[in-house]
């Protein structure tokens, strides 16, 4: 891959190719209000594009289309749905450079990371293409021999998919692909800060052959105006949400009134445990990936570094040196290794957490400040903290690594579990028995063992406690979009038994 600065002409050419309307019933439309919404580049603060600002009327039109398309879509052959997904994978892969640049422009991550997200995000299309035709039920004789039992799966029905801004492609494919595989129609509501990637993705899925009404996309300035009326409508059967815990809780309350199926991928506060026997260079490499990927704006981001006291000084020195070697710059620049924070408010929140942590006794080993100049950059930061520092109980969502120490395995487990969240966790040790003992006792849906990045389309992704309900990806992902039907059939041989 040649590494060159992206030209302004290339950026404009790409932006002009992105649909900016609302996708409803197979057509790109203007918002019924006539209003538009600006999308910004977080590296410069400048407007990239204006898109149509969808509201509740547009959301209802999208649900009308999804509900009307549901019956026929559910009856399509699994192979047909599988091949649409496979073509979607091929088309996203062919246009990988466009998707990567678009994500860098609207979200800020360095191009190399955006390319990684295209690979990861596209894989959900290929994985669920394969799962579509291998989604089996059961057929068996009832225990007393009177009936034949048939257990089969049906699509749950029209689904509302709400995605966050931090992984604009992967969070959409992780929901759309299993919904297509299961035979559900859907309304996708991307985050208003990064809607462009979802729009390009929806256009690609149209090209891949997705029929009108199956995937509808409504972005807008008021998320609740879009989701609110749909959540009350009895034609909606499911809500799948990725985002913060408070919004997820509110959606679960709304879902209860309409008895909707829910999948909730919520916040995280991942512990990163380094035991005394760990390979420290590998642990620092893993720490950099687990903390710094996506500028720390990931639900799986390592948020609390818990390091055995015998190796803490060496770990902190190596980790600080690796953080100092990073280069915060616009993600389109070849030398950029850290992009900007998503907006000014989020950067201020991160700085406030650092200041509060310092006021509570943290030592700034490196960083600790926003970066001067355009955009919303924050200098990669390492804090040495006591294990009661308030920053350990906050989801930082930025390039700030608090490191604290433990003396015993029991203490490490207790510190790891001292969080309302339970999504990702990381364990560095050379002893597989330590890994098994600790994994057994920590309350997290995902465990990285000597690995700083473990998300994979083939694995069940999801958390426990305040991190949510349900799993995306893996064999489990399609189940979230299906409902079970049991047919009890009189057994013709029952009389002979």
- Residues 239 and 100: their CA atoms lie apart, in Å, by 28
By CB under 6 A, residue 168 contacts ligand NAP:
no
Residue 183 vs 398, nearer CB to ligand NAP: 398
By CB under 6 A, residue 117 contacts ligand NAP:
no
Contact track, ligand NAP, 445-484, x by CB under 6 A: ------------------x----x----------------
Residue 181 vs 423, nearer CB to ligand NAP: 423
Residue 36 vs 244, nearer CB to ligand NAP: 244
- Residues 442 and 278: their CA atoms lie apart, in Å, by 19
**Tokens 């891959």, located at residue:** 1
Region binding ligand NAP by CB under 6 A among candidate stretches 54-62, 68-76, 221-229, 354-362: 221-229
By CB under 6 A, residue 192 contacts ligand NAP:
yes
| Cβ neighbours of 9 (radius 10 Å) | 8
265 is catalytic: yes
Binding-site size for ligand NAP (CB under 6 A) equals: 27
Closest CB 256 distance from ligand NAP, rounded Å: 15
SS3 483: strand
Residue pair 295/325 in contact (Cβ under 8 Å)? The answer is: no
- Residues 415 and 403: their CA atoms lie apart, in Å, by 12
Closest CB 421 distance from ligand NAP, rounded Å: 8
By CB under 6 A, residue 267 contacts ligand NAP:
yes
Closest CB 236 distance from ligand NAP, rounded Å: 13
Closest CB 224 distance from ligand NAP, rounded Å: 4
Rounded-to-5 percentages of helix, strand, coil across the chain: 40, 20, 35
By CB under 6 A, residue 250 contacts ligand NAP:
yes
By CB under 6 A, residue 243 contacts ligand NAP:
yes
Contact track, ligand NAP, 397-426, x by CB under 6 A: --------------------------x---
Catalytic residue (choose from 117, 265, 297, 394): 265
The residue from 33, 76, 93, 244 that contacts ligand NAP (CB under 6 A) is 244
By CB under 6 A, residue 162 contacts ligand NAP:
yes
- Residues 110 and 115: their CA atoms lie apart, in Å, by 9
The residue from 5, 12, 142, 224 that contacts ligand NAP (CB under 6 A) is 224
Beta pairing, strands 270-274 & 424-428: parallel
By CB under 6 A, residue 166 contacts ligand NAP:
yes
By CB under 6 A, residue 271 contacts ligand NAP:
no
- Residues 479 and 72: their CA atoms lie apart, in Å, by 20
- Residues 455 and 439: their CA atoms lie apart, in Å, by 17
By CB under 6 A, residue 35 contacts ligand NAP:
no
Beta strands per DSSP E along 73-141: 138-141
List the beta bridge partners of residue 186. 159, 215
**Tokens 């068996």, located at residue:** 140
The residue from 104, 132, 163, 332 that contacts ligand NAP (CB under 6 A) is 163
The residue from 165, 272, 376, 406 that contacts ligand NAP (CB under 6 A) is 165
Residue nearest to ligand NAP (CB): 243
- Residues 45 and 284: their CA atoms lie apart, in Å, by 33
Residue pair 173/201 in contact (Cβ under 8 Å)? The answer is: yes
By CB under 6 A, residue 191 contacts ligand NAP:
yes
The CA-CA-CA angle for residues 364, 368, 371, to 5°, reads 155
- Residues 59 and 215: their CA atoms lie apart, in Å, by 12
Report which DSSP code applies to 370: B
Region binding ligand NAP by CB under 6 A among candidate stretches 43-51, 58-66, 262-270, 281-289: 262-270
| Cβ neighbours of 232 (radius 10 Å) | 11
Region binding ligand NAP by CB under 6 A among candidate stretches 3-11, 127-135, 143-151, 241-249: 241-249
Residue pair 184/156 in contact (Cβ under 8 Å)? The answer is: yes
- Comparing CA positions, the residue from 63, 38, 36 lying closest to residue 217 is 63
How far, CA to CA in Å, does 6 sit from each of 94, 333, 406, 430? 19, 7, 46, 43
Site for ligand NAP in 281-320 (CB under 6 A): 299
**Tokens 């408070």, located at residue:** 246
Residues of this chain that bind ligand NAP (CB under 6 A): 162-166, 189, 191-193, 223-224, 227, 242-244, 247, 250-251, 265-268, 299, 395, 423, 463, 468
Catalytic residues: 265
């Amino acid at each position: 891959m040649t590494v060159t600065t992206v030209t302004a002409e290339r950026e404009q050419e790409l932006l002009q190719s992105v649909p900016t309307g609302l996708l409803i019933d197979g057509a790109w439309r203007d918002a019924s209000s006539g209003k538009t919404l600006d999308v910004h580049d977080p590296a410069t603060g400048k407007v990239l594009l204006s898109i149509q600002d969808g509201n509740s009327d547009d959301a209802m039109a999208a649900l009308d289309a999804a509900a009307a398309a549901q019956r026929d879509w559910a009856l399509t052959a699994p192979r047909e749905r599988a091949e649409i997904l496979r073509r979607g994978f091929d088309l996203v892969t062919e246009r990988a450079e466009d998707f990567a640049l678009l994500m860098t422009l609207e979200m800020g991550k360095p191009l190399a990371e955006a390319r990684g997200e295209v690979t990861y995000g596209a894989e959900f299309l290929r994985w669920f293409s394969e799962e579509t035709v291998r989604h089996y039920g059961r057929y068996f004789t009832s225990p007393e021999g009177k009936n034949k039992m048939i257990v089969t799966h049906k699509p749950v029905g029209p689904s509302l998919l709400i995605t966050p801004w931090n992984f604009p492609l992967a969070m959409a494919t992780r929901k759309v692909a299993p919904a297509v595989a299961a035979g559900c129609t859907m309304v996708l509501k991307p985050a208003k800060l990064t809607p462009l990637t979802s729009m390009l993705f929806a256009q690609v899925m149209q090209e891949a052959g997705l029929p009108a009404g199956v995937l509808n996309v409504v972005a807008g300035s008021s998320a609740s105006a879009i989701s609110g009326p749909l959540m009350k409508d009895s034609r909606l059967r499911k809500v799948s949400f990725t985002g913060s815990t408070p919004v997820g809780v509110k959606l679960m309350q709304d879902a209860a009134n309409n008895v909707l199926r829910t999948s909730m991928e919520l916040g995280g506060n991942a512990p990163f445990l380094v035991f005394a026997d760990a390979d420290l260079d590998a642990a620092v490499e893993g720490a950099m990936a687990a903390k710094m990927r996506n500028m720390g704006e990931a639900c799986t981001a390592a948020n609390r570094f818990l390091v055995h006291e015998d190796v803490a000084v060496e770990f902190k020195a190596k980790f600080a040196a690796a953080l100092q070697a990073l280069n915060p710059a616009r993600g389109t620049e070849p030398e950029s290794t850290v992009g900007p924070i998503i907006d000014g408010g989020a950067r201020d929140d991160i700085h406030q957490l650092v200041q509060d942590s310092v006021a509570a006794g943290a030592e700034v080993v490196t960083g600790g400040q926003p970066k001067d100049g355009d955009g919303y950059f924050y200098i990669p930061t390492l804090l040495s903290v006591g294990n009661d520092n308030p920053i350990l109980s906050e989801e930082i969502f930025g390039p700030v690594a608090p490191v604290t120490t433990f003396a015993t395995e029991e203490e490490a487990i207790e510190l790891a579990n001292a969080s309302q969240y339970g999504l990702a966790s990381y364990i560095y040790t050379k002893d597989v028995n330590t890994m098994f003992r600790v994994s057994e006792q920590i309350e997290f849906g995902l465990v990285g063992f000597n690995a700083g990045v473990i998300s994979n389309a083939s694995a069940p992704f999801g958390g426990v406690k305040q991190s949510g309900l349900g799993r995306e990806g893996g064999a489990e992902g399609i189940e979230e979009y299906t409902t079970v039907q049991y047919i009890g059939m009189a057994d013709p041989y029952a009389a002979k038994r």
